[in-house]
């Protein structure tokens, strides 16, 4: 992928997200500086490769599931693929765009409210050029 060393946002964010327990972080950085890569690396570090799940069945058993808020609501509600009570981290990548221009605020709030304990949210917001 061409990464030789972490960007400034990654140097700041990764130690906090990889801490045990993970620390909350609010950070702002320009587009292309590695915000998404930082939280993806943190999520991948939490995957347990020894955890196995049946490949067939009604519900998904994956440790990481990616989708828009609308898709996640469908998977949780309409299709019952995902149990929202098992969501531990909720990520809204490009949250400013998604909420401001695409109207996903209500959907995002509904996902968070349907979880047993509020999942730890991760949001990325792009600052101006």
Domain membership of residue 55 (yes or no) is yes
Number of domains, the chain: 1
Q: Could you read off the pLDDT tens digit of each residue along the chain, which spans 129 residues?
A: 677 899 999 999 999 888 888 777 777 888 888 888 888 888 888 888 887 765 555 455 677 877 777 888 888 888 888 888 777 777 766 666 666 766 677 777 777 677 665 555 555 555 555
- 3 belongs to a structural domain: no
The pLDDT of residue 118: 53
Q: Is residue 1 part of a domain?
A: no
Note the pTM of the prediction, 2 decimals. 0.63
What are the DSSP calls for 77-113, one per residue? IIS--S-GGG--EEEETTHHHHHHTT--HHHHHHHHH
CATH number (domain holding residue 27): 3.40.50.300
Does residue 60 belong to any structural domain of this protein? yes
Question: In which domain, by residue range, is 19 found?
Answer: 8-127
Q: Is residue 51 included in any domain, yes or no?
A: yes
Residue 2 is assigned to a structural domain of this protein: no
Check if the beta carbon of residue 55 is closer than 8 Å to that of residue 61.
no
In a domain, 106, yes or no: yes
């Amino acid at each position: 992928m061409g990464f030789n060393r972490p960007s400034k946002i990654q140097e700041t964010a990764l130690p906090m997200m990889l801490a045990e327990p993970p620390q909350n972080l609010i950070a702002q950085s320009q587009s292309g500086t590695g915000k998404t890569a930082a939280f993806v690396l943190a999520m991948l570090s939490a995957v347990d490769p020894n955890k196995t799940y049946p490949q067939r069945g009604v519900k998904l058993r994956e440790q990481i599931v990616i989708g828009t808020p609308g898709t996640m609501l469908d998977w949780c509600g309409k299709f019952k693929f995902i149990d929202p009570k098992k969501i531990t981290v909720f990520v809204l990548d490009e949250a400013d765009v998604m909420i401001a221009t695409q109207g996903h605020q209500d959907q995002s709030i509904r996902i968070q409210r349907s979880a047993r304990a509020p999942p730890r949210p991760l949001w990325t917001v792009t600052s101006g050029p």
